[in-house]
Chain A
Amino acid sequence: MSQHKEETSGFVKIHLLALAIVVIAEFIGPWSIPMGIGTIMILPFLHCLWMGYLVGPKILKLVDNVDMEKASPLIIVSVWFLMARYGTLIGPTLATILGSSLALIAQEIGQLGAVFIALPVAMMLGLRREAIGCTNSVGRETNLGLIGDLYGMDSPEGLGAIGAYVTGTVFGTILFSILGNVFGTFTNFHPISLAMAAGTGSASMMTAASSTLSTFYPDLKSEILAFAAASNLLTGATGLYKQWLLQIPMTEAMYKKLVLLLDRNNKSQEARSE
């Protein structure tokens, strides 16, 4: 009983800290940094990352490892509200979205293109089986779960997937803010195409990319958010099967070719140096 009480009080501390961080982040508000021909938007939720690091064991020491373990599952619970709100963005615009359903489905397949870029780079950096785990992940729990199921969490592939998940959590929001900024300012892609692409990652990555994008197209704000949410929902519903039946077999086939190629190169280099 006393242990139960301790557990609850531990959560209260984390909630209070989150409360303080959220209120301060919203008080600071968005930063818009003019950069030559474009503007970089830093939305309030990005302030939470540096404030989180500030209260962490490296600096202010307000939270320890136990607290951090407790904070992780709360990320998922707080996403529930966000997903409900996103559903309410899709509902009123569903007719428009269904009219573009072909494009929505096609861009899901387009996402497979990532493997052709990321796998060779990962392997040239010296990664081997880990590369299969980390190039098959967009920072969603389902990616992690599937790799764990197929290869085991302790395998090199599992290590790659965990690394990718962590990378997605830490850098994904920042990266997708940058993508929303760069593509919104410097490219001629249609905002709806960019909105669909914003839905490819996790819920917070989608929010980062789509809300940054909508600051550049205030007139299209509701469409941008609705298309991002619809694309995210579609990835959530089909992503597991797409990854399992298409992406992983594709990655494995490419891996075999690349390993032969790279090893032959290494051998000829060794022969030359001898």
Chain B
Amino acid sequence: MFKKNLNNLLWIGGIVLLGNWVSVKIPPWEALPGLLILLAMVGIACLLNKITPFYVPLIAYISTVALICTLPQFPGSEIILRYVEKVSFLALCTPVVAYAGIAITKDLEALKGGAGWKIVVSTLIALVGTYLGSVIVGEIVLKMTGRI
């Protein structure tokens, strides 16, 4: 998984460094160590994903590896954080939407005609409903448990 996509990851990494430079004015040479740390985390997660005998989504592995490496108890977590914070999370999201944007015409075509618009409307309502259900229950339980 990692080896197959290393080329793409390097391209995306380069795009992130440039986007980061434009948006938060941190030059690529300063953000590079942080980006390489993120790349290493992805690599470790891919390896774990490969050797686990049961199914765990790869993205859950990636977040968990990064989470463990930045726990205050983890040796060197402060140094890891200092470098990683030079890579803005918004700069990491822009390429995701850029690739989605490049493919958008194909996706819009797939929704045209037939029951397309009904599915779009129903899905949007389901998304808003999911968000609303989460907000309301979250708010009630946070209040009940005295967190807010």
Contacts and interface: CB of A to CB of B under 8 A. Distances in A.
B16 A81 contact: yes
B71 A91 contact: yes
Contacts of B96: 45, 75, 78-79, 82, 203-204
B100 A106 contact: no
Interface of A: 8, 11, 14-15, 17-19, 21-23, 25-27, 29, 43-46, 48-53, 55-58, 63, 65, 67-69, 71-72, 74-75, 77-92, 94, 99-100, 102-104, 106-118, 121-122, 125-127, 130-131, 134-139, 142, 159-160, 162-164, 166-173, 175-176, 179, 183, 189-190, 192-194, 196-198, 200-201, 203-205, 207, 209, 211, 225, 229, 231, 233, 236-237, 240
A97 B23 CA distance: 29
Given A44-B90, A112-B133, A139 B98 contact: no
B97 A49 contact: yes
A160 B122 CA distance: 10
Contact of B107 (A130, A170, A201): A170
A126 B9 CA distance: 44
The 8 closest A-B pairs by CB, nearest first: A52-B101, A87-B66, A110-B137, A91-B70, A114-B129, A113-B133, A163-B119, A56-B105
B130 A53 contact: no
Given A18-B98, A170-B111, A114 B126 contact: yes
A118 B102 contact: no
Nearest to B117: A125
A61 to B, nearest CB: 10
A82 B98 contact: no
A192 B138 CA distance: 8
23 contacts: A11-B7, A18-B95, A25-B98, A48-B98, A58-B105, A69-B106, A75-B103, A80-B58, A89-B89, A92-B71, A102-B141, A102-B145, A113-B137, A118-B126, A138-B127, A142-B57, A163-B110, A167-B119, A168-B123, A196-B135, A198-B131, A231-B134, A236-B60
A125 B121 contact: yes
Given A80-B42, A197-B131, 6 more contacts: A18-B95, A46-B97, A75-B99, A81-B35, A134-B126, A137-B123
B15 A164 contact: no
B53 interface: no
B47 interface: no
A81 B108 CA distance: 27
Interface of B: 5, 7-9, 11-16, 18-19, 22-23, 35, 38-39, 41-42, 45, 57-60, 62-72, 74, 77, 80-81, 84, 87, 89-108, 110-111, 115-116, 118-142, 145, 147-148
Given A71-B102, A102-B145, A193 B122 contact: no
B17 to A, nearest CB: 10
B89 A14 contact: no
Given A91-B67, A118-B129, A200-B130, A57 B105 contact: yes
Given A83-B63, A118-B126, A134-B119, A92 B111 contact: no
Nearest to A191: B148
Given A88-B67, A107-B134, A190 B142 contact: yes
